[in-house]
A and B are shown apart, each in its own frame.
Chain A
Amino acid sequence: MKFRCATALVGATSLLIGLVIPVGSAQQVSGPVKVVQLIGLAGIKDKAKGTLSVENGHLHFVHGKASFDLSAASIRDVVTGADSQRAVGGTIGMMSMAAPYGGGRVLSLFRTKIDTLTVLFRDADGGLHGAIFTMPVGMADVIKKGLVAQGAHTAAPGESTAVATPAPSRASLNKEQK
């Protein structure tokens, strides 16, 4: 009886810790966040892995020796979204497709959830640019909040949902410019 109670207690505690820790770690951002820049930053190649941080009113992306700074004030919109990617990707993922009896296809079933962060900004000449980042779940909202707090504009101030956030209209982007 004593043993059963202890087992139940340990189980309940583990469950509680398991539920609380991911939420806590997702909401805290202690330093740069590991991200993948899919497209949009000048001088940085597509799908470049790097770190993203919000410091002194700037969005700061570092990829190896290359870096890109973006003033929060120049940001016209920040949109977060949710997506997923293959757990086993890259060359190994491609090679696994050739595995016999559809073994590679089974690997395709395993996917990890990711957040997407889309940033729309204007350059010195007024030209509109867009950049897309992917990052671990929960991080996009933290970055977005940081950017909004430092002067970035956004059409949807709320947190992201499972459903992808719709694209901002040109009218809203131009209105903010004036």
Chain B
Amino acid sequence: MMKRILHTGIRLFLLTVVFAASPLLAQKNKPAKIKAAALQVEMIESDEIKLPAEFQVALYENLIRQLEKNGFSHVYRDGDRNAASVADLVVLHSTVRGFKAGSERARQVTTVSGATSITVHCQFTRSDGTSLLEQDVNGKVRFFGGNLRATYDFAKKAAHVTHENFSATESK
């Protein structure tokens, strides 16, 4: 009887160890972060999708703000001449791939309809155009807030993707 309890205990312990260790192993398999001395954010492109100007500007401004909040001390804007002299510069090109305007009124009245959503294709490159990472990021507002809040949601997610894949280093 005692032997059986002991065996069961050992099995349970081993099972726990295996489950607890799996996330740690997964983290070890993650690719190393790409070093970036600074980031340059290009203006949001929306050639294919008809996007209102205020959404374009809100996406751009929120993105810069969130990147600065996420530990990048040097975030250069589109056209900033100071970025040209930075060695490990990463340039973020964003292109709008999908946009659903939604309705704040419909959201507040029905709760289930009227969501605003934006899908943006983010491409990180070096200054010479070498691609480092490409990913689609979306922004949504489902319940509270105006339509422009979707741009804030996108910016937070895009900044998270940047933080996950790039590490800020001091520029030389």
Total A-B contacts with CB atoms under 8 angstroms apart: 96
Are the CB atoms of B61 and A130 closer together than 8 Å? yes
Instruction: For the complex, give the distance between the alpha carbons of A83 and B52 in Å.
Output: 11
Instruction: For the complex, give the distance between the alpha carbons of A2 and B76 in Å.
Output: 75
| Across-interface contacts of A81 in B (CB, < 8 A) | 52-54
* Residue in B51, B78, B80 with the greatest tally of chain A CB atoms within 10 Å: B78
Q: How many residues of B contact A (CB 8 A)?
A: 31
Instruction: For the complex, give the distance between the alpha carbons of A2 and B104 in Å.
Output: 50
Whether A128 sits at the interface, judged by CB under 8 Å, is yes
Are the CB atoms of A127 and B53 closer together than 8 Å? no
Whether B45 sits at the interface, judged by CB under 8 Å, is yes
Could you jot down 18 A-B contacts, CB within 8 Å? A38-B148, A39-B61, A84-B104, A86-B108, A105-B109, A109-B109, A118-B53, A118-B56, A125-B80, A127-B76, A127-B80, A128-B43, A130-B58, A132-B58, A167-B44, A167-B53, A167-B56, A170-B45
Chain A residues with a Cβ under 8 A of chain B: 38-40, 77, 79, 81, 83-86, 97, 105, 108-109, 111, 116, 118, 120, 122-123, 125-132, 164-170, 173-174, 177
Given contacts A84-B105, A108-B105, 17 further A-B contacts (CB under 8 A): A38-B148, A39-B57, A39-B58, A39-B61, A81-B53, A84-B104, A116-B54, A118-B54, A122-B79, A127-B78, A132-B54, A166-B53, A167-B46, A167-B57, A170-B78, A174-B79, A177-B79
Chain B residues with a Cβ under 8 A of chain A: 42-47, 50-58, 60-62, 76-82, 104-105, 108-109, 146, 148
